[in-house]
Amino acid sequence: MAKFKVKIDKERCKGCKLCVIFCPKQALQESKKINKKGIYFVELKNPDLCIGCSTCAVICPECAIEILKND
């Protein structure tokens, strides 16, 4: 089980991919699906890669990412 849960609000995501670029573990990727605005949003590629550093949440200009610790 992954240590952290990454919540991404796909409707707030504007597809800039800054989180994908700056993730030190490459845990995120661009989805092949689009949101209601017609944008390819970001999704978690592999939950086990996330180290909970929150770099993605900090760099997201839309505040669309939240990192939670699994119990």
What is the full DSSP assignment across 5-58?
EEEE-TTT--S--HHHHH-TT--EEEEEEE-TTS-EEEEES-GGG-----HHHH
Cβ(51)–Cβ(25) under 8 Å? yes
- Residue 29 tokens read as 């990727």
Q: State the architecture of 4-69 in CATH terms.
A: 2-Layer Sandwich (3.30)
Count of other CB atoms within 10 angstroms of residue 53: 15
- How many degrees, rounded to 5, is the angle at CA 43 between CA 11 and CA 40? 55
| Digit-coded pLDDT (tens) for 13-62 | 999 999 999 999 999 999 999 999 999 999 999 999 999 999 999 999 99
pLDDT band at 2 (very low <50, low <70, confident <90, very high): confident
